[in-house]
Amino acid sequence: MNIHASIQDLREALLPHRRAGRRIGLVPTMGNLHRGHLALVEAARAQCDVVVTSIFVNPLQFGPNEDLDNYPRTLDDDLTKLREGGCDLVFTPTPALMYPRGMANQTLVQVPEVSEGLCGGSRPGHFDGVSTVVNMLFNIVQPDVACFGEKDYQQLAVIRRMVQDLHLPIDILGVPTVREASGLALSSRNGYLSDEQRATAARLQGTLAELRTALEAGADIDTQLHQGLESLRRAGFEPDYLELRALDLSNVTATTHDAILLAAARLGTTRLIDNLALTLAR
Q: How far is the CB of 104 from ligand AMP (least distance, A)?
A: 23
Tell me: is residue 167 an annotated ligand-binding position. Answer: no
Of 24 and 134, CB closest to ligand AMP: 134
Neighbours of 49 (CB within 10 A): 14
- 225 conformational bin, left if phi > 0, alpha if psi -120 to 50, beta if neither: alpha
Of 39 and 215, CB closest to ligand AMP: 39
Of 188 and 200, CB closest to ligand AMP: 188
Annotated catalytic residue 37: yes
How many residues in total does the chain contain?
Answer: 282
* Spatial distance between the Cα atoms of 144 and 170, rounded to a whole number of angstroms: 5
Tell me: is residue 81 an annotated ligand-binding position. Answer: no
Q: Tell me what percent of the chain is helix, strand and coil, each rounded to the nearest 5.
A: 45, 20, 35
Residues that bind ligand AMP (CB under 6 A): 29-30, 36-37, 39-40, 148-149, 151-152, 175, 177-178, 185-188
Tell me: is residue 121 an annotated ligand-binding position. Answer: no
Q: How far is the CB of 20 from ligand AMP (least distance, A)?
A: 28
Sequence-separated contacts (24+) of 136-142 with Cβ below 8 Å: 136/98, 137/26, 137/28, 137/54, 137/56, 137/91, 138/26, 138/168, 138/170, 140/7, 140/10, 140/11, 140/91, 141/10, 141/14, 141/24, 141/26, 141/52, 141/54, 141/91, 142/14, 142/18, 142/24
Tell me: is residue 155 an annotated ligand-binding position. Answer: yes
Indicate which residue of 37, 126, 167, 226 is catalytic.
Answer: 37
Contact 173, 146 (CB under 8 A): yes
Tell me: is residue 73 an annotated ligand-binding position. Answer: no
Q: How far is the CB of 154 from ligand AMP (least distance, A)?
A: 10
Of 133 and 259, CB closest to ligand AMP: 133
Q: How far is the CB of 179 from ligand AMP (least distance, A)?
A: 7
Question: Would you list which residues are annotated within the binding site?
Answer: 30-37, 61, 149-152, 155, 178, 186-189
- Which residues are tagged catalytic? 37
Question: Would you list which residues are annotated within the binding site for beta-alanine?
Answer: 61
Question: Would you list which residues are annotated within the binding site for (R)-pantoate?
Answer: 61, 155
